[in-house]
Structure 1
Amino acid sequence: MAMALLPACVAAAAVSDTVRIKDIGRFGGWRDNMLVGYGVATGLAGTGDSARSRSTRQSIANVLSQFDVVIPPDQVQSRNVAVVMITATLPPFARNGDRLDVTVTSMGDARSLLGGVLLMTPLKGPDGRIYALAQGALSVGGYKYDVNGNVVQKNHPTVGVVPGGASVEVAVGTDLMQGGQLEFVLTDPDYTTANRIAASVNATLSGGLAVASDAATVKITVPEEYRQNMVSFITRVESLNVQPDRRARVVVNERTGTVVAGGDVTISRVTVSHGDLRVSVVTDYLVSQPLLVRGTGAGVRTEVVPQTRVGVTESGGEAVQLGVGSTVADLVQALNRIKVSPRDMIAILQGIKAAGALRAELIIQ
């Protein structure tokens, strides 16, 4: 019975490794666009830019001049205003009236944007055109209060967001088809995966429509009957299943002591010897206090005498031996049995990689 169930388990594992084509890449021309703007946030409770910020004074004067209020910049003394930069992402196929979330960051010396309101600000693209207008109340997930040198702060109060605070004014069109072809771009370029995508498309849509031009791009010819119905064709292509090829990688985070590796990352025959050397230095401070009696001379005083002890403890080294075909998971289990710390485990993996026994790319973050 166990032998009969084994092929079914292997087949189930193979099916589980397949993913949709749309989950491992995108079509050429499908991209986000960055928007940026310069504006003014008002309504701050005395936590805005100080009078030293000339750009803030000039910006306030410019805003007031639009309402026929003319004030010289050097006469502006408000601390309820801060100059800010606004950023947003314009998605593909954006239409007039769509709402975008915007991020607002302080440019001057404002202490906090809490309670502020962003005045209407145009958001421009790299070509200098205005694509959206942003305005609204700021949502700041923190605060900062400073009174008489005492500071109480939570999170980062000089950055805020305006959910749905920008309105798209210029629609963005996206032309996916160029010369009768679609280009599918892989997020993680790989020749094997690109070839499997082309094979999957050709097996489902007969006619040899797809060809992998390089490790990152698969060119797909759109049949004549689908050129007036691109949505249906793209839906069929991106819903196809393919098994992506994975590169052997081990990711190490030295700050947190985390090691992440695929279960199939193998290690050549290797022996690891791990020892532990501990050096402790302890200093005790002894105080010599003279007797307080009459006639004590002027040179007699209290003396602090340090007493330092150095101790060295070296535990016996323990060895771990792995045979041919062992994986990183086997190594981690063996090291856990001899109670190796995560940071020592990272050092061991680096040593195994330097010895040429780790058959994977070691990525240290």
Structure 2
Amino acid sequence: MQRIIDTLYLLIPLALAAFLMVAPLNAAPVASLKEIATVEGVRYNQLIGYGLVVGLDGTGDGSRTGFTNQSLTNMLSRMGISAHPDDINVDNVAAVMVTAMLPPFASPGARIDITVSSMGNADSLQGGTLLLTPLKAPNGDVYAVAQGQVSLGGSADAAHATAGRIVNGAIVERSIPFSLEGRSSITLLLKNADFIAANNAQDAINNQYGEEIAHARSSGVIEVIVPENLRNNIPRFIAQLETIPVQLSNSGKIIVNERTGTIVVGSDIRLSTVAVSHGNLTVRIEPQFNEEGEVVEPGRNDRVALFENGISIGNVVDALNRMGMTAEDMIAILQAMKQAGALSGDLEFI
């Protein structure tokens, strides 16, 4: 069997339990630094708030949700209107949780999108209006206020009628106290900690600037010294860093989704000598040659699959696919190979 260095095989079970393969690549993947790392401190911050949506057409919480009555009573009380919770009909009102992501460097007056989700017995938020709702960070400080018409992104028959969005529905009231000014260095955080990626990123940065300004502190942290000529314009320096190409290591994992039967195979995974019997099929990792000295490939009707020692898992999956193996059978065989110690990579289930 011809050996191929496969960067990635993506296999999806079809109607007859076949798999669809993505064409292999011959070289290690390359990504820009922006794709694999972020700047420490430059991140989104989560906000949350509790509010009321009014103006619903009888699809609100109703009398079954007592805290909605209490919330509406408290709101009316703050407006100088005296009312008792038992005297209020909340069929047109829904209690909701409001969530948002505060972007880095967002200034007061900026607008952000919000998500509104029912937390009571409302049937639909269609046509409702969110009343003024403070949005707080985990420390309790208010960073934005939200209000506006809730949109379900479609009609009243939307699949999730109890959750909607308001585009630009919140106004930022205060910014996160973070600044890049005056920094002599910045810290890069790899999205997926990996020593090879960290080392390659360090070398790529140093080669770009011709000096040792980057130092990998761990598999996920790289400290970069800001050059003297760019310390007055750190955003420009970060923009330059983000475009630097970094060579990544090939994947050494097999990702299996048992619910969908999807299997993703990395290219660095090899198989050592093993024999696995599954149903009426036997998979053996050992060489078999024909009279011309070529490795014999299994046919679709063969029930013994023979492969040479050290072959890539991608080639094995390809051959088993041609033999008509189902996704469930393929997963079972991979598990058996891993348990036997013949599979070099990590088998991860999601």
Q: TM-score, normalised by structure 1?
A: 0.78
Q: Distance in 2 between matches of 1:273 and 1:53?
A: 58
Partner of 1:197: 201
Deviation digits for residues 173-226 of structure 1 (CA, Å, limit 9, x no counterpart)? 433478622111101111121111111112222331111111111111112222
Residue 342 of structure 1 aligns to which amino acid in structure 2? A
Deviation at 1:92, TM superposition (A): 0.3
Structure 2 residue 119 is the aligned partner of structure 1 residue 134:
no
Which blocks of at least 5 consecutive residues in structure 2 are unaligned? 1-24, 282-300
Partner of 2:88: 76
Correspondence for 2:238 among 229, 234, 237: 234
| Paired residues of 1:270 and 1:322 also in contact (CA < 8 A) | no
Partner of 1:49: 61
Percent of pairs with identical residues: 41
Secondary structure of the structure 2 residue equivalent to 1:51 = helix
Change (3 A) 1:169 1:41: same
Task: Return structure 1 stretches of 4+ with deviation > 6 angstroms.
Answer: none
Secondary structure of the structure 2 residue equivalent to 1:266 = coil
Partner of 1:284: none
RMSD: 2.3
Deviation digits for residues 298-336 of structure 1 (CA, Å, limit 9, x no counterpart)? xxxxxxxxxxxxxxxxxx992212212311221112212
Partner of 1:342: 327
Correspondence for 2:39 among 8, 24, 27: 27
Q: Distance in 2 between matches of 1:338 and 1:241?
A: 40
| Paired residues of 2:186 and 2:223 also in contact (CA < 8 A) | yes
Deviation at 1:48, TM superposition (A): 0.8
Deviation digits for residues 222-250 of structure 1 (CA, Å, limit 9, x no counterpart)? 12222111122222222111101234010
Based on CA coordinates, which of the two structures has the bigger radius of gyration?
A: 1
Q: Distance in 1 between matches of 2:324 and 2:182?
A: 59
Residue 27 of structure 1 aligns to which amino acid in structure 2? V
* Higher relative contact order (Cα pairs below 8 Å, separated by 6+ residues): 2
Change (3 A) 1:317 1:17: closer
Deviation at 1:143, TM superposition (A): 7.6
Q: Distance in 2 between matches of 1:165 and 1:321?
A: 62
Residue 61 of structure 2 aligns to which amino acid in structure 1? D
Correspondence for 1:250 among 244, 248, 254: 254
Secondary structure of the structure 2 residue equivalent to 1:22 = helix
| Paired residues of 2:44 and 2:103 also in contact (CA < 8 A) | yes
Between stretches 59-68 and 20-29, larger displacement belongs to 59-68
Deviation at 1:141, TM superposition (A): 4.9
Residue 333 of structure 2 aligns to which amino acid in structure 1? I
Secondary structure of the structure 1 residue equivalent to 2:62 = coil
Secondary structure of the structure 2 residue equivalent to 1:55 = helix
| Paired residues of 1:30 and 1:176 also in contact (CA < 8 A) | no
Aligned residues: 307
Correspondence for 2:125 among 79, 100, 113: 113
Partner of 1:321: 306
Change (3 A) 1:334 1:270: farther
Partner of 1:167: 171
Structure 2 residue 114 is the aligned partner of structure 1 residue 102:
yes
Residue 105 of structure 1 aligns to which amino acid in structure 2? S
Q: Distance in 1 between matches of 2:322 and 2:90?
A: 65
Deviation digits for residues 45-85 of structure 1 (CA, Å, limit 9, x no counterpart)? 11111213221111112222333322122211231001111
Partner of 1:186: 190
Which blocks of at least 5 consecutive residues in structure 1 are unaligned? 1-11, 145-152, 278-315
